[in-house]
Structure 1
Amino acid sequence: MMEAFLALSCLLLASSVGSQDLSYEAMLQQLHACPKECRCPPSFPHAVYCENRGLKTIPAIPPHTWYLYLHNNQIEVLSEQALRNATALRWVNLNRNKITSEGVDEGAMKAMSNLLHLYMEDNQLTDIPSPLPASLEQLRLSRNKISKIAPGVFAGMDHLSLLDLQGNKLEDDSVTEESLKGLSGLVQLNMAKNNLKTMPGGLPLSTTQLFLDSNAIEKIPVDYFKGLPKVAFVRLNYNKLADGGLPKDVFNSSNILDLQLSHNQLTEVPRFPLSLEHLHLNNNKIKSVNGSEICPVPLNDLYDYFDDKGPRLQYLRLDGNEIKPPIPRELMMCFHLLRSIVI
């Protein structure tokens, strides 16, 4: 009876099978091998759904699985045996389990040679899993207990574009040029909610989005952003930055588009580059805004700048400070593209 049902499902979905490069025989094999604890919909034959099942171990995964969902279980070990045949995996979600670093079999990572996305958020990892598949594009490890990044752990990981380490226990000596070596294609780095007191060093030149909210950072080195030519989005909300921790032109050497410095200890608006479009300074200690001083170019020279070359600021948030209306006239003269000011 079961075989008849599977055969009928395959026949009804022949067109979708072809679009996913899975033959009739392969689909039968995939559905027959579906673990009894999981769900393998014939309409999506490359996916295996095992979430919210109270699993303590990973069942044997069928060979044609691309997308594996194991989140919200009680899994403690990432087993080589369970993934031995699942060499086609592209996306694995292991969020909200109980996996420790000691519970990650070295062979389990080696088997996933085609993996693109690995989600292991809300587990009990103390180290970055290793060795990682060189094919990996996104690695999400937020809300674990990671306190160090071993040198060489990212060697050969030039395809990795997103690294999320939010909500771990990283300190300053954990993030060095040596520990991040190999991430030549990194675009987004999230190290919010860690124990950093200084800006992380050795970031790849490719870094475009840098999220460092809710640390204890007090100072930005004067040439910090000169080493990050592509950085466009910087979030430093909920840190301990005061005026003395921001060198006068620390942001002017960059092409930042979105800069967030909310919930710090600033009393003045820092200088920022012509390129900046969004500036968040809410909940600081700023008492006034001098449009002439913060304008990236002298007000008298503004007419020498075409619209595509002049200040690009469109959004400015200043609420939660000690500033009172009205908005200074010089501010509007300089930033004529401003669409929203929150005071």
Structure 2
Amino acid sequence: MSDLPAIHDPEASLLDVSENDITVIAAQGLAGLLNLESLNMSKNRLDDESFGPDRLPSLTLLKMLDLDSNHISKIPALPPSLEVLKLNHNKLNSLPLDSFKGLQKLVSLELQGNGLYEASLSPQTFRPLGRLVDLHLGGNLFRFVPKDLPASLQKLEMGQNQLEQVTQERLGHCVKLRVLDLSHNRLHEQSVSQALWTQLSSLETLDLSHNQFTQVPPNLPRRLRKLSLQHNNIHHIPAFSFRHLRPGLQSLQLSNNDLSHSSLNRNAFAGTFVSLAELLLDNNRLSEVPQCIRLFKKLQVLRLDNNHIRTVKQWAVCHPKNSDSTLTSLHLESNLLQVEAIPPKTFSCLTDTQGLVLHPQQV
């Protein structure tokens, strides 16, 4: 279907015409859908000429509009009733001042996979969006966080950009942020203001994976529950980096870094022993199981595969005093272990015997 014909159904609340070849919306194509609340036109061939000035604004009850994967280069005229707008994977390379004018009810905006960068946005582009909660800007060309983001934001995704700096001035006012994705960028310790983490007091999930950090950032947000630092150059975890967190980390992902036995001192994980459920240390340079592992009280998933571990001592993972173990999954494959030499009760605390992976080992 290349043209969207006129549709007359006053009772319809949802219309899905995704995955077609629609290029034109007829003048009266949507006029007969007075009660439409959700419209999915993703994966078509829509461009800026496909929308007349009154095609979409006539849908006065529309709440969700999906225009993903089309050929749109500017924001079309939209109804003020809109709450969710998806424009991922289009050809947007600028957002003028009036791009979101009148959209005071918008709570979710997705603009991933376009050609946006900081100079292509007016400083006040997002100002009308006073209720915006979720903002997705991943897969663009940003070197810096845009100015004047809505203070109402609870989730910001800026993965797969070219971010070199994240400043307190650009993001510090977003005190309601709960989820922040800065993965796949060019960030390191000096790129992020330490004072920023203190201001983001509501942050619970932070993704800094696929960057250039060499150590765990200090002064992390107090309420942080999940921290992803995979695929960095981390070779050091400062002592007591997590001790101030309350109620404490539940997930810590440190896979694919440069951690060795000497870089994990006895206080590296202090503050997480009674909260952590997932610890990923695979694909590092560990020569033995870290001594602190047996101190975790709620650990469920532990990954130590693809390291240089040669031996596992009897009480390295399971301590006899830890009778209430929650460990269900342990990966030790692709190390330098002689499996037959491991003491027989070394993994007795695993609650699921099928969760233990020891093979294959490196030659």
Q: TM-score range by the shorter chain?
A: 0.7 to 0.9
Query: What is the CA–CA distance in structure 2 between the aligned matches of 1:137 and 1:325, rounded to whole Å?
Result: 50
CA gap 1:288/1:311 in 2 versus in 1, 3 angstroms: farther
Match of 1:227 in 2: 173
Q: Find out whether 1:278 has 2:215 as its counterpart.
A: no
Match of 1:84 in 2: 31
1:17-61 per-position Cα deviation (integer Å, ceiling 9, x unaligned): xxxxxxxxxxxxxxxxxxxxxxxxxxxxxxxxxxxxxx1101111
Matches within 5 A, 1:3-22: none
Q: Find out whether 1:342 has 2:280 as its counterpart.
A: yes
1:204-263 per-position Cα deviation (integer Å, ceiling 9, x unaligned): 111000000100000011344321011010001100102221222321211210000000
1:274-325 per-position Cα deviation (integer Å, ceiling 9, x unaligned): 1100000010011121232x2354xxxxxxxxxxx83521111111100135
1:142 partner letter: N
The 8 Å contact of residues 15 and 39 in structure 2, kept in 1 or not, is answered as yes
Matches within 5 A, 1:146-161: 146-161=92-107
Report the structure, 1 or 2, having the larger helix content.
Answer: 1
Shift of 1:176: 4.0
The 8 Å contact of residues 86 and 111 in structure 1, kept in 2 or not, is answered as no
Q: SS at the partner of 1:234? A: strand
Query: What is the CA–CA distance in structure 2 between the aligned matches of 1:93 and 1:295, rounded to whole Å?
Result: 44
The 8 Å contact of residues 96 and 121 in structure 2, kept in 1 or not, is answered as no
Question: So what's the TM-score if we normalise by structure 1?
Answer: 0.77
Q: Find out whether 1:103 has 2:50 as its counterpart.
A: yes
Matches within 5 A, 1:182-193: 182-193=128-139
Matches within 5 A, 1:203-222: 203-222=149-168
Query: What is the CA–CA distance in structure 2 between the aligned matches of 1:296 and 1:157, rounded to whole Å?
Result: 42
The 8 Å contact of residues 80 and 111 in structure 1, kept in 2 or not, is answered as no
Q: Find out whether 1:319 has 2:284 as its counterpart.
A: no
Q: Find out whether 1:143 has 2:81 as its counterpart.
A: no
* Identity over aligned pairs, percent: 28
The 8 Å contact of residues 152 and 181 in structure 1, kept in 2 or not, is answered as no
Query: What is the CA–CA distance in structure 1 between the aligned matches of 2:248 and 2:112, rounded to whole Å?
Result: 30
Report the count of equivalent residues.
276
Query: What is the CA–CA distance in structure 2 between the aligned matches of 1:222 and 1:56, rounded to whole Å?
Result: 48
Q: SS at the partner of 2:25? A: coil
The 8 Å contact of residues 57 and 80 in structure 2, kept in 1 or not, is answered as no
Question: So what's the TM-score if we normalise by structure 2?
Answer: 0.73
Match of 1:330 in 2: 267
The 8 Å contact of residues 242 and 270 in structure 2, kept in 1 or not, is answered as no
Q: SS at the partner of 2:54? A: helix
The 8 Å contact of residues 6 and 26 in structure 2, kept in 1 or not, is answered as no
Query: What is the CA–CA distance in structure 1 between the aligned matches of 2:27 and 2:65, rounded to whole Å?
Result: 15
Q: SS at the partner of 2:252? A: strand
Shift of 1:79: 3.2
The 8 Å contact of residues 61 and 82 in structure 1, kept in 2 or not, is answered as yes
Compute the RMSD of aligned alpha carbons. 1.6
